[in-house]
Amino acid sequence: MNLRSQNFRLRATLFAFLIGSPVLNLHAGSLDNTFTYQGRLNDANGPANGWYDVAFSLFTTATGVAPVGVVTNVAVGVTNGLFTTLVQFTNAFDGTAYWLGLGVRGNSLATDFTVLSPRQPMTAAPNASYALAAGRANTANQLLFPGNNGNTAVGIVALSSNTVGSCDTAFGYGALSANTTGIANTAVGTYTLEANTTAGGNTAVGYAAMIYNTTGGNNTAVGGWALYSNTNGWNNAAFGEAALYLNTSGMDNAGLGYDALTRNTTGSENVACGSSALAQNTTGIGNVACGYVALAANTTGFGNTAAGNEALAGLTNGYLNTALGNRAGYNLLAGSHNIYIGSAGQTNDQKIIRIGETGIQTATYLAGTVYADNLALTSDRNAKENFAPVDAGAVLDRVAELPITQWNYQGRNAAERHVGPMAQDFQAAFHLNGGDSRHIAMVDEAGIALTAIQGLHERLAAKEERIARLESELAELKALVHQLAHRTDESRH
């Protein structure tokens, strides 16, 4: 087989770390220059398999000039295109930037080597050896690509396209492999930030995290597929598998939890904390969801706040709603300007405040004065039971005997005067509100007043009837007197 007729293609990069004590023996007084090389070799039929001789040549430029060192490794095993071998250039590394050239031939063939191109820039390990030998303290600064300040790459084709980008860190196969000029990016995991080219300040940890990001900057993605589709969105933070998965250009979003904000594309300034929180949001802005599936169905709604498991879970495109508590606002589908505290709400609520649930919460305590344009107490006949008649006259008598004074609440301004009975006296007189002797229910106070009015009306009606009867009798008496007087006058004549 003539290897020159084959089309070899090598895609490889040096691991940017040292391989233990055989490489660095700090007690021996001298350091060798051995490093591990991992590569990928294809022939005309695809990934190569078998034994190959690999020649490594060290150059001071990317093209031209003669090599400053040549090492040939014989019978290197290649499986499915991948190989690993140790390479040692004696006394070659002094901090100079080098390029590595490779030649390949079949192990059993006495032929010339097929030279692979282009030459590869050397990664950090040999230069780190030189830094240690020179006694430098800041050896971490030496773990870089030649010509690029402070880059670290570990993994096949990690940061392989970098030109002038600096302060980038890539760990994993394909991590930051397309980066050219982006700076201060950190990619940990297979394919993380793979498509990033010029953006900076991104951190991606997890399989395929931010894989399609190209120019978006200052994003943080932790978890498999987190910010997977982001291309040019900025200032996003995604923690959890598939968090902000479909985000492309949305900005200033934060997603914490599996599938949090997973379908968001261009929506901005959203915060999702909890599994599937704001999962369906696409373009909505300014939403805050904390809790399992909180605001999960929201797509374009904005300015909503949901805190609690399944809070506002069914809302699709409503806006400026607030829900606090487990399943708070759960029934709302499209309303706006609603506030729910521990209440599931109604399907079509609009500008409603609901606190608690009927049959669960039985009392609400509020400090201070409550101001409202109107107060409507539930008085639906269908909400009541155990009806009984009331003696209005007896109620009137008790009201007449009820002590009523003027007073102010303790600890309040003495000028804030009020008029009314004491709860203890009210309870003793009427035995209402479950025996509560510290409070007077508004419904009872109003009911007693109305009943007393009815009792007074009954007494006034009875008096008016008696007066009318007496006036009729008086009129009859006057008529009889008149007749008697008339007869008396006739008898005199």
Give the CATH number for residue 470. 1.10.10
Parent domain of 13: 3-133
Amino acid type, 471: E
Token couple for 168: 């980038």
Would 123 be classed as within a structural domain?
Answer: yes
Would 79 be classed as within a structural domain?
Answer: yes
The dihedrals phi and psi of 475, each to the nearest 5 degrees, come to -60, -40
pLDDT at 271 over 70: yes
Average pLDDT over residues 320-324: 98
Burial 238-271 (b: 16+ CB within 10 A, else e): bbbbbbbbbbbbbbbbbbbbbbbbbbbbebbbbb
Q: What pLDDT was estimated at residue 119?
A: 86
Would 477 be classed as within a structural domain?
Answer: yes
Q: What pLDDT was estimated at residue 69?
A: 87
Token couple for 253: 């979003």
Average pLDDT score over the chain: 85
Would 152 be classed as within a structural domain?
Answer: no
Instruction: Count CA within 13 A, CB hemisphere, residue 364.
Output: 11
**Among 57-71, 271-285, 316-330, 463-477, the least confident range:** 57-71
pLDDT at 267 over 70: yes
Amino acid type, 212: Y
**Among 118-132, 273-287, 451-465, 473-487, the least confident range:** 118-132
Q: Is residue 437 within 8 Å of residue 423, measured between CB atoms? A: yes
Q: What pLDDT was estimated at residue 7?
A: 36
pLDDT at 364 over 70: yes
Domain closes at, from 87, 117, 133:
133
Amino acid type, 16: A
Would 298 be classed as within a structural domain?
Answer: no
Would 426 be classed as within a structural domain?
Answer: yes
Q: What pLDDT was estimated at residue 38?
A: 80
Q: What pLDDT was estimated at residue 294?
A: 97
pLDDT interval class at 9 (50, 70, 90): very low
275: helix, coil or strand? coil
Residue listed under structure tokens 């008649």: 389
Average pLDDT over residues 43-53: 85
pLDDT at 223 over 60: yes
Pairing between β-strand 418-420 and β-strand 405-407 as defined by DSSP bridges: antiparallel
pLDDT interval class at 88 (50, 70, 90): confident
**Among 92-96, 276-280, 414-418, the least confident range:** 92-96
Highest mean pLDDT among 101-105, 107-111, 216-220, 484-488: 216-220
Which has the higher per-residue pLDDT, 261 or 1?
261
Q: How far apart, in whole angstroms, are the C-alpha atoms of residue 176 and residue 389?
A: 83
pLDDT tens by residue, 344-359: 999 999 999 999 998 8
Task: Provide the 8-state DSSP code for 409.
Answer: -
pLDDT interval class at 94 (50, 70, 90): low
The predicted model scores a pTM of 0.64
Q: What pLDDT was estimated at residue 42?
A: 81
Token couple for 468: 């009318």
pLDDT interval class at 113 (50, 70, 90): confident
Would 193 be classed as within a structural domain?
Answer: no
pLDDT at 330 over 80: yes
Average pLDDT over residues 89-107: 79
pLDDT tens by residue, 381-410: 999 999 999 999 999 999 999 999 999 999
Average pLDDT over residues 466-478: 94
Q: How far apart, in whole angstroms, are the C-alpha atoms of residue 88 and residue 83?
A: 16
Domain closes at, from 83, 107, 133:
133
Q: How far apart, in whole angstroms, are the C-alpha atoms of residue 434 and residue 395?
A: 18
Q: What pLDDT was estimated at residue 137?
A: 25
Amino acid type, 44: A
pLDDT at 19 over 90: no
Domain closes at, from 112, 133, 154:
133
Burial 383-408 (b: 16+ CB within 10 A, else e): eeeeeeeeebbebbebbeebeeeeee
Q: What pLDDT was estimated at residue 403?
A: 97
pLDDT interval class at 32 (50, 70, 90): low
Domains contained in the chain, number: 2
Would 420 be classed as within a structural domain?
Answer: yes
Q: How far apart, in whole angstroms, are the C-alpha atoms of residue 374 and residue 406?
A: 25
pLDDT at 205 over 90: yes
* Percentage with pLDDT > 70 across the chain: 86
Q: What pLDDT was estimated at residue 493?
A: 67
Q: What pLDDT was estimated at residue 149?
A: 61
pLDDT tens by residue, 117-149: 888 887 544 444 333 333 222 222 223 333 346
Q: How far apart, in whole angstroms, are the C-alpha atoms of residue 272 and residue 26?
A: 51
Closest CA to 152 of 46, 311, 16, 339: 16
Q: What pLDDT was estimated at residue 399?
A: 97
Give the CATH number for residue 118. 2.60.40.2060
